[in-house]
Structure 1
Amino acid sequence: MAPTDLVDLAGHEQVVFCSDTDTGLHAVIAVHSTALGPALGGTRFHPYPTLDAAVGDVLRLSRAMSYKNALAGLAHGGGKAVIVGDPHTAKTPQLLRAYGRFVESLAGRYVTACDVGTYVPDMDVVAEETRWATGRSPERGGAGDSSVLTALGVFQGMRAAAQHLWGVPSLAGRRVGIAGVGKVGRRLVDHLVEDGAEIVVTDVDPAAVDAVRARHPDVAAAEDADVLARSPLDVFSPNALGGALDDDVVADLRATVVCGGANNQLAHPGVADLLARRGVVYTPDFLVNAGGVIQVSDELHGFDMERAAGRTQAIFDSTLAVLAAAEADGSTPAVAADRLAEERMAGGGATPWLPRSSPDVS
């Protein structure tokens, strides 16, 4: 299948292929929607085996960003970019600047940020060539590490699930299993410890587990994510790679709630139905992990952590609304979240967005 065969022209507004011979840059930028405002989404740097694989990934990710930004109440549509290559060997300042020039050429239709394989210092370099790079360092007027508010948002999603199921917006006394204690997972542990939860963690990097347990000695450790998912838990929280929930894992899952920061947690859409049939409440990942995009979007208005954190706290109310809607109409939370996002995008699509001359968009 040729890459162009993957492009859903009815669903994506624009797909841009970027190539720079001098630096070896090969990238794809996908703008799914600008119905609510300029498309916002991170840049993933990954050694895709084929261009088809890169295009397929960026199309899925950009669409998900439209839904995430809509549910977060942001004046942004969805976009995403992928740079093809091993970030450990292919990433150079020259390549990042070349990429920044492509972002700038879109005149504000796409605003970028960090994602897998790109970090705050990378966005500082990209920003040398474009006004439309967020996730920059505080020294460059940016918000810094977006995992701060990503973790806060996931915690708010958990609190909402607890309110929905148990009538109390707290995880105190509940057993929470966290798979992946990198940037987001370790910050999530801090929130849960303060809330009084019993916590079990795992990570492919033993040093990450050791760091969490050194900070919180009462936190237990599981052998791996599969063992953790099959343990008696109140909440299972995937915070590493996507696809953590497949048919086999769901069949053995003993948790009552799934709520985590990882993107694309469901191996396929049917997993949402499997979870519902087993009585497991799933808080859609693109709903609860929106704290990071809320944080970087705030840079466009002169970053204010208190303001961004306040918007992230609202994930509690959004999650409650989605869970209530799903219960009321007998659908899954995934379907209810999609419907709410689509309603917001449709409502915002009457007036087309026009790029401004500066990044102070609203």
Structure 2
Amino acid sequence: MEIKHPSVFEQMSLSGHQNLYFCQDESIGLQAIVAIHDTTLGPAIGGVRMLPYETIGDAVDDALRLSHAITYKASLAGLNLGGGSAIIIGNHRTDKSELLMRRFAQFVEGLNGNFIASTDIGTTQKDLEYMLSETNYVAGLPASLNGGGDNSVFAARGVFYGIKAAIKELYGDDSLAGRKVAVQGLGSIGEQLVSMLRAENARVYVSDMTEERKLKIAAKYKAEPITYSTSFELDADVYAPCALGGTVNPETVPRMRCKIIAGSANNQLKDEELTNKLLKEHDILYTPDFLINAGALISCYSELEGHGNDRTETLVKNIYNATRHVIQKSREDNITTFDAAKQLAEQRIFDIKKLKR
């Protein structure tokens, strides 16, 4: 039986996307995609992700999924920004160059401010510096260029506040002392989260795809190293996925023994409808990633608005209250936290649309 795949326009319609742009420059090997989901709240912002996708369809899927999530993330955080995402198809270790990034920036410039570029997997602040030569529509610049600097600390802090809010809802107080937290993925955000958790005397278990990295972080913060591929099986208060998405899925949920899922990884849920149902059945409290990992986006917003770190910290700290609000709504309405967060995000967008009529 032939399986009918939806067209790009059907995909855009299903997810409510406004625009999907394609850019190509054969002379330098540039193939890029920019997805703009919704600009009701403000211009779309999103990271520039550079990966060697197997197919153009895979790249389009990723761009649509990421930009959709940014819309919800910005809305829940109370930011006047829309959701966008950019994809450059290629190996960032071998194919990336100043020329490539500057040519892509010219494409962004041609979108007339409807899309603002930041960093994502495969791009760095140095790449944003290259882009700045061709367009001002970038955010997440180093402090030396009047940017917000390294925003991973704000990303980690948002997840930290999300964890504390979930602990508060589950146990009645938000103390992390003695609470068991399994952090999967020890990049910049994961490491800083470990540091914050240990500062509050949480019992932290760490894992990473790189064994050397795992052991280094475990020793540095007096955490306990565990196996990466089965870290979600630990009998813990919190499982914090901070690496690849999709680790919360119909295969892993029945094996989970945690009480809370709260991490920085994007797109943590695979097969969202079924996975959410299983999480509810197994009484696991999920704090949606687009709710608690908004710290980096908030930092970029502060940079664009000319705010200082104090204002950024205030906005990031509000993730605590926003998380509690989502959890309480899910209980009152007897829906999943995922659906509660989506409804709150969509309601704010709907309300602002009415203002603009």
Q: Aligned residue pairs: how many?
A: 351
| 1:244 matches 2:244 | no
Structure 1 window deviating more from structure 2 (139-148 vs 175-184): it is: 139-148
After TM superposition, the score normalised by the length of structure 1 is 0.94
CA displacement at 1:157 relative to structure 2: 0.3
Conservation of the 8 A alpha-carbon contact between 2:215 and 2:225: no
1:213 is displaced (CA, Å) by 2.3
Contact 1:3 1:52 (C-alpha < 8 Å) held by counterparts: no
The Cα of 1:164 is off from its aligned counterpart by 0.4
Q: Which residue of 1 aligns with 2:226?
A: 222
Identity, % of aligned pairs? 37
1:7 positional shift:
4.1
d(CA) in 2 for partners of 1:307, 1:211: 34
Aligned residue runs from structure 1 range 156-175, under 5 A: 156-175=161-180
Aligned partner of 2:266 among 263, 268, 273: 263
Aligned mate of 1:130, from 126, 129, 135: 135
Instruction: Give the counterpart of 1:71 among 71, 76, 98.
Output: 76
Given the alignment, which residue of 28, 37, 44 partners 1:39? 44
Q: After TM superposition, give the deviation of residue 6 of structure 1 in Å.
A: 5.4
Partner residue, 2:319: 315
Residue equivalent to 1:330: 334
Is the Cα contact below 8 Å between 1:46 and 1:86 reproduced in 2?
A: yes
Counterpart of 1:292 in structure 2 is 296
Structure 1: gaps of 5 or more residues: 354-362
Amino acid at match of 1:283: T
Q: Which runs of 5+ in 2 are unaligned?
A: none
Q: Is the 8 A contact 2:41 2:81 kept in 1?
A: yes
The alpha-carbon deviation at position 249 of structure 1 amounts to 1.2
Secondary structure at the aligned position of 1:149 is classed as: helix
Could you say which residue in structure 2 is the equivalent of 1:278? 282
- Cα root mean square deviation, aligned: 1.5
Q: Is contact 2:206–2:218 with CA below 8 Å preserved after alignment? A: no
Could you tell me which of 187, 192, 200 is aligned with 1:195? 200
**Alignment partners' CA distance in 2, 1:213 and 1:303:** 35
Q: Deviations over 1:231-271 (max 9, x none)?
A: 21111010000001111211010000000000011111121
d(CA) in 2 for partners of 1:149, 1:206:
26
246 and 221 in structure 1: CA distance in 2 versus 1, 3 angstrom threshold:
same
Aligned equivalent of 1:340, options 335, 339, 344: 344
3-state SS of paired residue (1:184):
helix
Distance 1:168 1:2 in 2: 47
- Residues 132-175 of structure 1, C-alpha deviation per residue, up to 9 Å, x if partnerless? 11111111111222211010000000000011010111211110
* Cα 1:352/1:104, change in 2 over 3 Å: farther
C-alpha displacement of 1:110: 0.7
1:232 aligns with 2:235: yes
Q: Deviation per CA, 1:317-355, whole angstroms, max 9, x where unpaired?
A: 0000000000111100000000000001111123559xx
Moved over 4 A (4+): none
Q: Following TM superposition, by how much is the alpha carbon of 1:5 offset from its aligned partner in structure 2, in angstroms?
A: 4.7
Cross-structure match for 1:104: 109
1:304 aligns with 308
The answer to whether the aligner puts 1:19 opposite 2:24 as a matched pair is: yes
Change (3 A) 1:287 1:320: same
Provide the C-alpha distance between the structure 1 equivalents of 2:335 and 2:197, rounded to a whole number of angstroms. 29
Deviation for aligned residue 1:220: 0.3
The structure 1 residue matched to 2:93, chosen from 88, 91, 116, is 88
Give the Cα–Cα distance (whole angstroms) in 2 for the partners of residues 18 and 208 of structure 1.
37
Could you tell me how far apart the structure 2 residues matched to 1:38 and 1:184 are? 26
Tell me how far apart the structure 1 counterparts of residues 307 and 135 of structure 2 sit (CA, whole Å). Answer: 18
TM-score by length of 2: 0.95
